[in-house]
Amino acid sequence: MYIYCLFIVCLLAQIASSNAIVESDWEVEYDGYGYVEFGDGQVHFAPMNSTQSDETHAVLILSKTKYQSFDIEVTARTDRQLREGDDPNTWEVFWTFFNYMKTTGFEKEANYFILKTNGIELGTADKLLGQNFLVTDSQPICKIGKDYTYRIKMSEDFLLSIWIDDTLVIDNYKADQDDSSKSLYKHDGYFGLYTEDGEITVKSFKDNQDDDDDDDKTSSSFKLQYSLILFLISYFFLNFI
């Protein structure tokens, strides 16, 4: 009986592990004098609280794998906004960076996406502080304490699409624009988990291209595992209940 239950647990853990966040896959660039904690397949992070209107603190965690074209799913939530003494800013939530390339020091060239408390924002970031806003919209909005699943896909011909909880919010945005100031970066780069003055939990990270590389094998493996679990559960109820 004990071995039977343990076997089911192991199978379920194996299925879930493909989405788990493993510390060895990530590098903490800076923690904003706060903390970054990995555990149970998740990562929880927050910088120190900001108490002045002109003060900000941030956390950045970068993947050790580089991506140029990709199909990534991340489930995350903003647990709290940490600013003290003033109302929090709309962008003090969870961010994603992609095609993130380090230049010198903390400078970078990267694309980013934010689900803010007043809508969405797609842009590029370069040098130390510079931002270039490419797309903004007043909907959807981030609700503090709610989980969101972000799917961010950059196709091989550099068209960017983004979904939030299966709702398409960025539809085939061309990385190359006639106006170069509206273009996205296309270089090989890291994926980033980021916040300014927010407490964040990232619950899962999935590279869908890993599945596509061996789709038939993966699909068959999962079908077999699920079928085996269903059989064992049925056997349990028929023989032990």
Q: Encode pLDDT of 22-49 as tens digits.
A: 999 999 999 999 999 999 999 999 999 9
180 pLDDT band, cuts 50/70/90, is: confident
Residue-averaged pLDDT of the chain: 87
Q: Do the beta carbons of residue 158 and residue 93 sit within 8 Å?
A: no
Give Cβ neighbours of residue 26 (< 8 Å, ≥ 6 apart). Answer: 38, 43, 61, 62, 63, 64, 193
Average of per-residue pLDDT across 57-79: 98
The pLDDT score that the predictor gives to residue 241 is 62
User: What does the pLDDT look like over 115-157, one tens digit per residue?
Assistant: 999 999 999 999 765 899 999 999 999 999 999 999 999 999 9
Angle, vertex CA 167, rays to CA 108 and CA 157, nearest 5: 50
pLDDT of residue 234: 61
Domain residue ranges of the chain, discontinuous segments joined by +: 2-214
Phi then psi for 135, rounded to 5 degrees?
-140, 130
Domain 2-214 belongs to what architecture? Sandwich (2.60)
Confidence at residue 105, expressed as pLDDT on a 0 to 100 scale: 75
By the 8 A CB rule, do 117 and 192 touch?
no
pLDDT (mean) for 92-107: 92
- pLDDT, tens digit, 9 for 90 and up, residues 195-241: 999 999 999 999 998 765 554 444 444 445 555 555 666 665 566 66
pLDDT category at 16 given cuts 50, 70, 90 is very low
Positions of E strands within the chain: 26-30, 35-39, 42-46, 58-67, 70-81, 94-102, 108-116, 119-127, 130-137, 148-154, 159-164, 167-174, 189-196, 198-207
**pLDDT band (50, 70, 90) for residue 69:** very high
- 97 contact partners, CB below 8 Å, separation of at least 6: 60, 62, 110, 111, 112, 125, 190, 191, 192, 193, 194
> pLDDT value at position 106?
74
CA–CA distances in Å: residue 6 to residues 10, 19, 89, 222, 234: 6, 21, 47, 19, 16
Q: What is the pLDDT of residue 5?
A: 53
- For residue 92, give the amino acid letter: E
Q: Is the pLDDT of residue 170 over 50?
A: yes
Calculate mean pLDDT across residues 151-170.
Answer: 98
* Dihedral Cα 47, 52, 56, 59, nearest 10 deg: 0
